[in-house]
Chain A
Amino acid sequence: MRAPRSALVVLFLTLLFLLGPFVILFWASFGTRASLAFPPEGFTVYWFKKVLGMRMFVDSFRVSVLLALSSTVAALALGIPAAYALVRSSFPGKSLLELFFTSPIIVPGLVLGFSLLQFFTAVARCPVASRLFLGHMVILFPYTVRVISASLRNFDPTVEEAAVSLGAPRWLAFFRVVLPNLRAGIMAAFILAFITSFNNVPVSLFLSGPGVTTLPIQMLTYMEYYYDPTIAALSTLLIFFTVVIIQLVEKTLGLSTTLGG
């Protein structure tokens, strides 16, 4: 049964609404004038060159990438054992634990960022970079746990048992038999967490500090004073960066899955 014409029209308009702004952004980043007029006049890659040369953006980009990488790895390191514990066991109160592990998603990022700032100022003084790392690790954790749990649930527990019966202690069975088959899940979790961290504003907003700022925050600061296409160009670059990341991770972790069967 096909959908009625009207529904398809709504779908088309919706897609236009969702994706149109990106196209406009893309277009605007090539304009010559130093203000955000539309349609943009002329064509130039000046803004792209400018962005790539600006210290504040290059530095904050580096911070964002390192932060995303480290907090994603940490979230996975916490999430994989936690997921295993949740999926392979049953005990009273398990759903409560699951709820607790998911709760960082429910709490507004801004509130958490604010609370963490208070916490780090009053209770546990530590460098800005560590604060960002810890804050991101916490908000990424629910994603890794959820995705890995879903993957684990699809994996037959008797295969693990077979490995144990053949002489592999439980931990070795996990690394040799379970983990290789979780590749797809780990890859999905990695992409999701990395992007969530990279794009995060609420937590980074409160935890960033002098010298250690993430890219989105830096962009916001810049926008408080300037309205030129610099940000447009940067935004365009970022969108492509996101696409590249997804492809990259898929190629490295994904291809091996296909090869390994």
Chain B
Amino acid sequence: MLTTRKLLLLSVPALLALTIFFLVPLAMTFLGSLREGGTWTVNRYVAVISQRSFRVALVRSLKLGALVTAVAALVSYPAAYAISKLDKTKRTLLMSLIILPLMTNPVARTYAWFVVMGRHGIINQALLSLGLIGSPVKILYTEGAIAVGLLQLFLPLMLLSLVSALENVPGELEEAARSLGANGMRAFRHVILPLSADGLVIGGTLVFTGSITAYVTPAILGGTRVLMLSTLLYQKAMTLMDWEGATVVAVVMLLLAVGLNVLLRRLRPQEAS
């Protein structure tokens, strides 16, 4: 007879693997950030926080994260709404088109923006030929470039989340609202938004967390001048050999990501995923 004990045995290999190669390394990093010269101390944190580069990177990451999330939500709602109203075949086709970017290489994806935003890229060429500017504008290596790249990266996540949430809102409710006199915007505010808020929260968390921890996009589109937490971490660890500082940055990123997730669970008493 299959006892609970025997069943649990099946999960032991995974437990072991995760503990050794996931839990332990992270614990090491976390604990390591609090130690200096054999004693427990927060000196490392103080040192890093006093660095301007860190503060700038932190603020930038949070700022861009919030911006990208807000724009993603704003754009995704109408788009997701439109998708949810389509018939099955069209919907499946669109969903696969939206998922496709997620399956491609992030380096490739971000590189495409290079072509668009470069000095000789599309935007500059277009603006030049239209006579709106005299010489190429610097678009790359700015916060805006990173924001656009992040948006393209994470928009599908928000879309997927919202489409799924909107599909669960029974069409009759909207119609009922209309019949009671609520026009488009009001029906949205009072009926659709509250009922699909769940998807908004999930999608928002995914986009925000992703944005502040992404590496490829800030690395390619921001370069070494416009640093976010992720690129700062890499720089400290691999270029500056400031291992101690890198550890602190890593812990900050970790706490942000985990903290956001905990917040998410609190906001949503009903589990799903």
What's the interface size class on B, roughly? Answer: 35 or more
Kindly state whether residue B270 has any CB partner on chain A within 8 Å.
no
Q: B109-151: contact bitstring with A at CB < 8 Å (1 yes, 0 no)?
A: 1011111101011100100000000000000000000000001
Cα–Cα distance between A116 and B56 once the two chains are bound (Å): 27
Residue of B26, B84, B209 with most partner-chain A CB within 10 A:
B26
Tell whether, in the assembled complex, residue B116 and residue A21 are in contact, meaning their CB atoms are under 8 Å apart.
yes
Q: How many contacts A-B (CB < 8 Å)? A: 258
- Beta-carbon contact of A115 and B13 below 8 Å: no
Q: Mark B71-108, 1 if CB is under 8 A from A, else 0.
A: 00001101101111110000000100110110111111
Which of A9-17, A44-52, A178-186, A251-259 faces chain B? A9-17
Q: Which of A203-220 contact B (CB under 8 A)?
A: 205-206, 215-216, 219-220
Q: Could you tell me if A15 and B97 are in contact, using CB atoms closer than 8 angstroms? A: yes
Q: Mark B215-246, 1 if CB is under 8 A from A, else 0.
A: 11001100000000010011001100001001
Residue of B nearest to A119 (CB): B25
- The B194-224 residues at the A interface (CB cut-off 8 A) are 209, 213, 215-216, 219-220
Chain B interface helix/strand/loop/mixed? helix
CB of B101, distance to nearest CB on chain A (Å): 6
Partner of B237, one of A17, A114, A137, A234: A114
Q: Which of B34-42, B43-51, B62-70, B152-160 contacts A (4 or more CB under 8 A)?
A: B152-160
Alpha-carbon gap, A259 to B220, bound state (A):
46
Decide if A159 is an interface residue (CB 8 Å cutoff). Answer: no
Residues of B within 8 A of A (CB): 2, 4, 7-11, 13-15, 17-18, 21-22, 24-26, 28-29, 32, 75-76, 78-79, 81-86, 94, 97-98, 100-101, 103-109, 111-116, 118, 120-122, 125, 151-152, 155-156, 159, 171, 174-175, 184, 209, 213, 215-216, 219-220, 230, 233-234, 237-238, 243, 246-247, 250-251, 253-254, 257-258, 261, 273
